[in-house]
Amino acid sequence: MAILNILEFPDSRLRTIAKPVAVVDDKVRQLVDDMFETMYEAPGIGLAATQVNVHQRVVVMDLSEDRTEPLVFINPEFESLTQEMGQYQEGCLSVPDFYENVDRPQHVKIKALDRDGKPFEMIAEGLLAVCIQHECDHLNGKLFVDYLSSLKRDRIKKKLEKKHRQQA
């Protein structure tokens, strides 16, 4: 296993639309393992392959406190099951140290492949629903800051650019 480099906003590679995984093989399973190790180390609760500069439709998540409930979504698709929206304070490993409220549907149905390539479906609500939508956004080149006003988004961009310049 390996810790992968997480891209940070405003890196343009985060805007790449991920391609579907054709075959779930050992290479994809290795990516999944590396993504979990990277996510746990960060630490975070979700990670999309786009964030580690791999442009395949792969997401890993673990919402448990003790890292005992790993979830893998390969080629995930979701649909909203309600018009009811919920506002959650979202953060992102690619937008470090910034948290903002985002409105998202409260209940979604997810279809994906698991780590072994087997199809599954699940209904998600609350934090799980928010997280899967957030990570699927990454696969489509979208970030949670895109839901914010241009003023807030520009402020975050400038602060992160300054941080990157200071680290260079």
Tell me, yes or no, if 135 is annotated catalytic: yes
Task: Give the list of residues 6+ apart from residue 54 with CB closer than 8 angstroms, or none.
Answer: 4, 31
* CA–CA dist 142, 153 (Å, integer): 13
Catalytic residue among 41, 77, 135, 161: 135
Q: Which residues are catalytic?
A: 135
